[in-house]
Structure 1
């Protein structure tokens, strides 16, 4: 079985959940290997996402782990099929860092995302002109080749919101500063704000604003996202973005910590209609 040093996010999720099932039943790698008549190293590669799992092997593992419900088994087999597919972003492996490719995979493969962006409009919600300004970092002139690649990928990522099958559900909280920072100038910001109002009307988008009036708040000005994978996986992943890299947290304690912060922020933020009203007011101010 081939070893992939850069497994897809979905394959890693499949492997992680198979390991969870095995450990819940108190079984060792050797027990799973005996079920498949293979070496434990093969099970280890499957659980780490480095190797795909064949449908026949997956069915045998599900038998061992006591997964008998036909609907649940069908979900596992579907997850395995999807994990073997080559995704559109794989052709960019030599042009973008792996942690950024993982981000694309998260947005393509997850069903739900909630997060907080205190000082900038989230990449999933950015207009082309706003994204150009953010990627360019205030530099004059057109984007260089690397910047242009990032722009094209960002716009492609946004299709997850409006794809015909299973669009990702997003609940995003923006800090008021994100609505006032004039990335690209007044006109670009105004158009971006109006676009936010359009997106907020989508059935799969919830948008709230954390106003300045809240004052100090729990968690501080740190952006984060929590991605949830569809059933049968119960896995969630926290994404922390910095200027040079993306960090992914999969430990349940870390996920619980950021989930608590998100719940605090959504309670402190304006409601959906109030948020849209504030965004519209700031857009009007930009017209003056």
Structure 2
């Protein structure tokens, strides 16, 4: 487990639970202790140990301490460090105050996004959320949630803008690599003025040292991999966390974690990056597009 305190970790409670659970699983396996025996130690059943190791439930601090001792951890400072992390993992997410406006599945995504060291995303019809201007975000929200109360729309937009803060944080900001189909630039959400502002915002994002943006132009030869299927690939700095592919649909989100699934989307992303304009050409392309379509 990384030698970091809870305050130093960008991970939210959900991610911390996965990190702690993965560490407990490795310690148990190294000690050659069965789930059943571990469960007996904390007066539970084997399914409880499984859920703890997958990070799907909150921790009783006494259980964490008892399991660490059972697994052979003798360093009291290390035990206290892990217990402190478990205590932090039991706290509400920083997105907690938006719970009334966000579905559970998306709240979990926000935590993982905040803990990622690399975010690679492909979008077909809209500009990626991490690169949206506020006016553009509002236009997209109003179209997709036209019957939603304005207060809820405002809160969703607030969340979208706060998400972008991770790109400018002082400690370990993630690398963002976005591949955008040219079709997204042609969809005038909010009208000409809003799209003009959005494209200018994209050009400003290109100036960030940790952001790389590529456009897949209509002139790209043939049908490209991933066509019609936006996705996000999250990579983490913690060995306890495997890469995740996130797919979003109308009523929910899906997380893919199997090696063969990750490999397939990784290959698709690499192919897209080859077919897209190279990042050093993005600003020139956007400037010409702005002049030709939204001047």
Query: Shorter-chain TM-score: what band?
Result: 0.7 to 0.9
Change (3 A) 1:79 1:218: farther
Secondary structure of the 2:95 match is helix
1:170 and 2:167 correspond: no
- For residues 178-220 of structure 1, the C-alpha deviation after alignment (integer angstroms, 9 at most, x for no partner) is 1221111111111111111111111111111111112301232
Match of 2:9 in 1: none
Secondary structure of the 1:156 match is helix
Secondary structure of the 1:111 match is strand
Q: Which has the larger displacement, 226-235 or 16-25?
A: 16-25
2:161 to 155, 158, 181: 155
Distance 1:23 1:217 in 2: 45
Match of 1:116 in 2: 122
Distance 1:105 1:193 in 2: 27
What does 1:234-253 correspond to in 2, within 5 Å?
234-253=241-260
Match of 1:181 in 2: 187
Distance 1:59 1:15 in 2: 14
Q: Tell me if structure 2 keeps the 8 A contact 1:14–1:80.
A: no
1:101 and 2:133 correspond: no
Match of 1:282 in 2: 289
- For residues 57-83 of structure 1, the C-alpha deviation after alignment (integer angstroms, 9 at most, x for no partner) is 3696499499x9x99x99977865653
Q: Tell me if structure 2 keeps the 8 A contact 1:45–1:51.
A: no
Distance 1:233 1:135 in 2: 35
Distance 1:124 1:179 in 2: 16
- For residues 6-40 of structure 1, the C-alpha deviation after alignment (integer angstroms, 9 at most, x for no partner) is x9431442255247636865753135446x55534
Secondary structure of the 1:183 match is coil
Q: Which has the larger displacement, 13-22 or 113-122?
A: 13-22
Change (3 A) 1:32 1:221: same
Q: Which has the larger displacement, 142-151 or 253-262?
A: 142-151
Change (3 A) 1:140 1:223: closer
Q: CA RMSD in A?
A: 3.4
Change (3 A) 1:63 1:181: farther
Match of 2:132 in 1: 126
Match of 1:268 in 2: 275
Distance 2:66 2:132 in 1: 42
Q: Tell me if structure 2 keeps the 8 A contact 1:210–1:269.
A: yes
Distance 1:20 1:280 in 2: 52
Structure 1: tracts of 5 or more residues without a match: 1-6
Aligned residues: 279
1:206 and 2:207 correspond: no
Secondary structure of the 1:260 match is helix
Q: Tell me if structure 2 keeps the 8 A contact 1:113–1:225.
A: yes
Distance 1:268 1:20 in 2: 41
How far off is 1:252 after superposition?
A: 2.2
1:29 and 2:54 correspond: no
Q: Which has the larger displacement, 202-211 or 18-27?
A: 18-27
Structure 2: tracts of 5 or more residues without a match: 1-11
Q: Tell me if structure 1 keeps the 8 A contact 2:17–2:58.
A: no
Secondary structure of the 1:129 match is helix
Change (3 A) 1:242 1:201: same
